[in-house]
Structure 1
Amino acid sequence: MSGAAAPTQADAVATAALSRMAAPLSRFDSAPLAASAGEAGAVAVAAIDGSRHLHQQEGLQVAIWGRPALDGSTDDVARRLASLWLSRGAAACACLSGPFALAIVDACSGAALLAVDRAGIHPLSYTSNAHGLFFASSHDALLAHPSVRGALDPQALYHYLFFHMVPAPATAYLGQQRLLPGEYLHVRAGRQCKGSYWQLDFQENALARTGFAGKKQEFLRTLRQAVEAGLGADGESTGAFLSGGTDSSTVAAVVGQVTGRPARTYSIGFDAPGYDEMAYARLAARHAGSIHHERYVTPNDVLAAIPAMAAVFDQPFGNASAIPAFYCAQMARDDGVTRLLGGDGGDELFGGNERYARQALLSGYERLPAMLRQAIIEPLLFRRRVERPWRLGDKARRYIEQASMPLPARLDSHNLLLCHGHRTVLEDGFIDTIDPGMASGCLNGAYWQRQGLGLSQINELLALDMRFTLADNDLLKVRKACELAGVEAAFPFLHDAMVAFAARLAPRDKLDGMRLRPFFKRALADILPPAIVRKKKHGFGLPFGLWLHSHAPLREFAFDNLTQLRGRGIVRPAFIDDLQGRLLAEHPAYHGTMVWLLLMLEQWLSQHPAALGALAHGFAACATETPAVLDPTA
């Protein structure tokens, strides 16, 4: 729910500064705080019991937020990790499994270690200057220290409009960095050494000689193990999100099998055509025999939640489904639940997103003989003078245009900012402070890291989504929505053993032609209702664009915020006028997303005085980053 915050300073100011840094950690969930001050600084963890670990001995402080296991045991993790640190140094973090953010401050060696779990469930950011190293799970906590500056990074704001979040390792603030999943930062003698203690390792042929029955048996055993770990010792106060999709329905069913009692499930619906999945959630609940609770979110609910939702995120965040996730978590909290299990990660491990099939279809074009493409198909479609409408030809041309784009660039073919054009959307003065190409550079860099490894396209896309879709977006959304509601979030599909199993599956078990996650669905055919196995992915999508038209108070609130944003020097007033008028009338759902992005940006700025103050002083032209090198000792 909250994490560690500490300056590694050997002065009396450290303890007082830590109190200021710790306050934001439990601002929303009122989580209990544990703190420790030593010769080289101070550490603090704010979290519910079981997720708060602190150990101090002879100049050594260990702080852990989360529920990790060390050598298979969750007992006394911080104390045992301290011993490993003394014998193995930075390599000690590789012995942890499960969700965690870790900070070790060692006065004796003058060293410090920061690390986060392999899926990036728990975040950790850091900055350093002449006064020392500062780190926290929340940027609000970092900025509470008087030695940490809060200048907004204009490039991060551009990335927000591009990705609808700020992808790691960048942050919304200049000079502050965030650890990637499976990454650590080792500081020795004032030198920062950053590296990966774990990376997702696909072994596509590992199960080639294992039949379906053997794979199914291992999968179901691992699934039960993952759900048991997610339930922990407080299973009676643990519930589960239930959207009616395959992943959440699977978790709900297995909870009942593991505990021997009905799961407590929670669902959200919308009274809007094409958005309501409640019928599937009810079907899954009946099939699993769960004690089911549901709530329909209204436009008035959205209005009421927006300010608090903007406040709980320490960086701009534009995924509108955080609103229904919050109301789902709030409903569970009112029912006495302190922990909610989510199905997040199933799509990214087993191939559940529709775009995987579409990208396979597009990649099929480049496998056609070049002579056929260049001498026959393309001249016919692009050079032939069409005297009358030819719908099939139009579709074929659009297909070829997209198929001719390389990955990962074609993943952004419907990107809002690219479709409008950044010069149409953004002020000239703002554009002067950013590099629009850096956004696609983020994707290209992550995607091309795995080129040359001989991986299938489906696994290359899964690895990309594990970082950008999951760690930077979906996990953050659920975790923050739960924090605002006062519950803890857990994700069984991201159990280390489940991730390792999925990485060993053959590509065809994840995408067979155009069939998504074939192994997953076949293996769970005895657990899930057939209708849920067959249904397409949906989730808790918010009908915001439709409600802008039908609900005047929501529209007025949104447009008032866009009016405020006009004076920030980021978005062109002319674009806002066009968005509120012509564009929104043409396609409410599509362009409503841009209204939401701009609305939440303005709300985030308003709810974070430090960010608003930085904006008032103008943007710096570029960011500075402390040099980091890989640590050969880990």
Structure 2
Amino acid sequence: MPRLWADGSGLRLLEGVPGNAHGPVRVGGLTAVGEVTLHNGRTLRAALGADVPDGCSDTELLLRVWATLGTAGLRLADGMFVLAIADGEDLVLIRDHVGARTLFYGHGTAGWCVSTSLLALRRAPNLRTGLNLDAVRSFLTFAYLPGDETLVAGVREVLPGRVLRLRPDGAEADEVFWEPEERIVDADDHPRRLRALLEEATAARLPAGEQVGVLLSGGIDSSLVTALAAKLHDQTVRTYSISFGSDLPNELAYSGLVATHCHTTHSVLNVPGETIAARLAETVALLDSPVGDPLTVPNLLLAEAAAADGLSVVLNGEGGDPVFGGPKNLPMLIFELHREDSAPLARATAYLRSYRKCYEDLPVLLTPAAREASAPLERFVQPYLDGPMDSLLNRLLHCNLRTKGAHHILTKVERLTAARGLRGLAPLFAPAVIDHAFAVPPRLKLAGTSEKWVLKEAVRDLLPRTIVDRPKSGMRVPVQQWLSGPLRTLTQEVLLDRRSHPLFDVRTVRSWLRGEGALLPRQGGKLWLVLTLELWLRAYDLV
């Protein structure tokens, strides 16, 4: 788990770091520590045009790239990395293109404090930290924190694709080294070109001489990653799927079909509600920011199963929806079709409502004291939704990539896999794949009613037609059954505890626990958010 630490006394490691096991590295007058995994080291060495020392770690290689080539060199890198560099009196922070790894910072009485661990900064003696009420509202709206804010007041998160220079006087200078751009190319060979990029990204993430795992749901995204891994790897491919019980709807027929088709060693992990109840608090505490995703405990259990099989790398299919146009865009496209509101923030407000979380419940869910925060929630999405891209679909995808992708999907997987000594890698989030996605005409991503059309066509020959052409259904997680069954006691004890009252109106929570206020049982998802937040706040001693 998190190991990087920097403050006024210098850069150091709390413990060994993958790719930087021997402590800080030095190049010229620069000193750096980081958590760096590079997938294209050969390309970067060639770009340097000079001898790179034998045994050079990924951290040293990235530092040399920065020292020699600057932001142009960072754009060339493909990997998951954060780097903190002492440059004279300045501290330079770098976070990878898409946000696979995280880095937090704050300014205290002894200067800047930086860490990959939010909990470490929470406990830093020279930082005055407390609960950030603005972030509470953000989490309850999005089910994650979509920007640079954290739940710890005075601590922020470095945004992906950025170089952040922190000066001794507390000033900051932010530079973007990579951002997706809409450069549409009207051509007939997009599926073929995309296929080549997918193969390259997957091959670069396969562990040499080792077996590899794939988290296989049975949807098109994880299935295509499985098929590519099976085609390209010279070692056994192990696949892992989840079952919540034979009496509940599941995707096991599809994941089993893919595993058989691709000749993988397949395992199905049964996750009863009792296990969710027993492991939820522990899992939530592993995250630097809470994620209101009920798959967090299953994700951790899958990581444990892969680690028990001796794996060091597990691939996943994350990225298909936010990059190539999954179903979550349809509500916004319908809104735009029937739009009558011309107010400046109308589109951003509609986007917040489309999440169907607690945005419209905040006036009754939060106590008056907790509602005092006033920063508009639309600020996180409006720059993308009304941004420079011409296509509305691409604006939506850009927003999904920079908010949910960087602050939910990638960071959740990285933290939970790293907690068990694994690297969780997402080929569909490779920068080159994303760049190509924004060069594809929108009509080839959402082709009529066919979502992610170009992605499906790129891999059609690798998978059974049943998998390629099936509509997306998503993993059906029995949250309502858990909350009314094995999680009932924990939920009531936590949410009706006096310590919760400063944030949440107990009358609203009680009504949701009784299932009141809705024709359909949608309170379960809302209760899950509140429960997750409360458990995280307790783990971080913020209540």
Same fold (TM over 0.5): yes
Shift of 1:167: 2.1
Q: Which amino acid in 2 is paired with 1:137? A: T
1:363 equivalent in structure 2: 336
Question: What is the match of residue 218 of structure 1?
Answer: 193
1:581 aligns with 2:521: no
Structure 1: which amino acid aligns with 2:200? Q
Q: Once the 2 structures are TM-superposed, how far is the Cα of residue 350 of structure 1 from its aligned partner?
A: 1.4
1:112 to 2:91 alignment: yes
2:172 maps to 1:192: yes
Deviation at 1:591, TM superposition (A): 0.8
Q: How many residues align structurally?
A: 530
Q: Which residue of 1 aligns with 2:119?
A: 140
* Counterpart amino acid of residue 96 in structure 1: A
Partner of 2:119: helix, strand, or coil? helix
Give, in angstroms, the shift of residue 82 of structure 1: 4.0
AA matched with 1:596: W
**Aligned match for 2:33, one of 53, 59, 63:** 63
Of residues 206, 213, 217 in structure 2, which corresponds to 1:231? 206
Deviation at 1:58, TM superposition (A): 6.5
Q: CA deviation at 1:255?
A: 0.6
CA distances 1:358-398 after superposition (whole Å, capped 9, x unpaired): 433443345xxxxxxxxxxxxxxxxxxxxxxxxxxxxxxxx
Corresponding position of 2:363: 423
**SS of 2:97 mapped into structure 1:** coil
Distance (Å, rounded) in 2 between the aligned partners of 1:490 and 1:54: 25
1:326-365 equivalence runs, <5 A: 326-351=300-325, 353-365=326-338
Distance (whole Å) between structure 2 residues aligned to residue 52 and residue 294 of structure 1: 38
Deviation at 1:55, TM superposition (A): 1.1
Whose helix proportion is higher, 1 or 2?
A: 1
Deviation per residue, 1:115-142 (Å, 9 max, x gap): 1011011111111234122111121122
**Partner Cα distance (1:518, 1:336) in 2:** 36
Amino acid across the alignment from 1:560: E
Residue from 550, 554, 562 that aligns with 2:495 = 562
Q: Distance in 1 between matches of 2:500 and 2:314?
A: 40
The alignment status of 1:441 with 2:441, answered yes or no, reads no
From the superposition, tell whether residues 230 and 80 of structure 1 become closer, same or farther in structure 2 (CA, over 3 Å).
closer
* 2:75/2:177 contact within 8 Å kept: yes
Q: Who is 1:102 aligned against? A: 83
AA aligned to 1:300 is E
CA drift of 1:250 comes to 0.5
Determine the C-alpha separation between the residues in 1 that align with 2:213 and 2:395: 33
- The alignment partner of 2:461 has SS state of coil
Q: CA deviation at 1:87?
A: 4.9
Q: Is the 8 A contact 1:330 1:486 kept in 2?
A: no
* C-alpha separation in 2, matches of 1:253 and 1:52: 37
The answer on whether the counterparts of 1:565 and 1:571 sit within 8 Å (CA) in structure 2 is no
In 1, are the aligned partners of 2:144 and 2:290 still within 8 Å (CA)? yes
5 Å matches for 1:9-408? 9=9, 40-43=10-13, 46-48=16-18, 54-56=24-26, 60-68=30-38, 69=40, 72-73=43-44, 76-87=57-68, 93-106=74-87, 109-188=88-167, 190=169, 191-204=171-184, 206=185, 208=186, 210-212=187-189, 215-233=190-208, 236-271=210-245, 275-351=249-325, 353-365=326-338, 406-408=346-348
- Give SS of 1:520's match: helix
Say whether 1:522 aligns with 2:499: no
1:294-317: per-residue Cα shift (whole Å, max 9, x none)?
112111110111121121112232
Match for residue 20 of structure 1? none
In the alignment, which residue of structure 2 is the partner of 1:497?
432
Query: Contact 1:185/1:195 (CA < 8 Å) preserved in 2?
Result: yes
Aligned-pair CA distance for 1:357 = 3.5
TM-score, structure 1 normalization: 0.78
Q: Is the 8 A contact 1:54 1:61 kept in 2?
A: yes
8 Å CA contact 2:19–2:35 kept in 1: the answer is: no
- 1:529 deviates by 1.5
Deviation at 1:3, TM superposition (A): 4.8
Q: Select the residue among 490, 509, 516 that pairs with 2:444.
A: 509
CA distance in 2, matches of 1:337, 1:173: 34
- Answer whether contact 1:272 1:543 (CA < 8 A) is retained: no
> In the TM superposition, what whole-angstrom CA distance separates every residue of 1:554-612 from its partner, at most 9, and x where no partner exists?
21111111112664411111111111114388533x21011111211221122223x23
Which amino acid in the other structure matches residue 355 of structure 1? K
> How far apart, in 1, do the equivalents of 2:110 and 2:396 lie?
42
Q: Please, which runs of 5 or more residues in structure 2 have no aligned partner?
A: 46-55
Q: Secondary structure at the match of 1:281?
A: helix
Q: Distance in 1 between matches of 2:252 and 2:98?
A: 29
Tell me the distance in 1 between the aligned counterparts of 2:22 and 2:139: 31
SS of alignment partner, residue 43 of structure 2: coil
Gaps of 5+ in 1: 10-39, 367-399, 613-634
- From the superposition, tell whether residues 141 and 90 of structure 1 become closer, same or farther in structure 2 (CA, over 3 Å): farther
Q: Distance in 2 between matches of 1:331 and 1:583?
A: 39
1:270·1:298 contact (CA, 8 Å) conserved in 2? yes
Alpha-carbon distance, 1:89 to partner:
5.8
Distance in structure 2 (CA, Å) of the matches to 1:153 and 1:504? 39
C-alpha separation in 2, matches of 1:601 and 1:340: 28
Between the aligned partners of 2:358 and 2:246, the Cα distance in structure 1 is 27
Amino acid at match of 1:172: L
Aligned CA distance change for structure 1 residues 133 and 331 (closer, same or farther; 3 Å): same
Structure index of larger Rg: 1
Cα offset, 1:156, TM superposition: 0.8
Q: Residues 52 and 64 of structure 1 are in contact (CA less than 8 Å); yes or no, is this contact kept in structure 2?
A: no
Percent identical:
25
Q: CA deviation at 1:237?
A: 3.7
| Letter matched to residue 481 of structure 1 | L
How much is the aligned-residue C-alpha RMSD, in angstroms?
A: 2.8
- Specify the code of the residue in structure 2 equivalent to 1:430: A
Q: TM-score, normalised by structure 2?
A: 0.90
- 1:34 is matched with none
Equivalents in 1 of 2:295, 2:83: separation in Å? 29
Say which is worse superposed, 460-469 or 507-516, in terms of deviation.
507-516
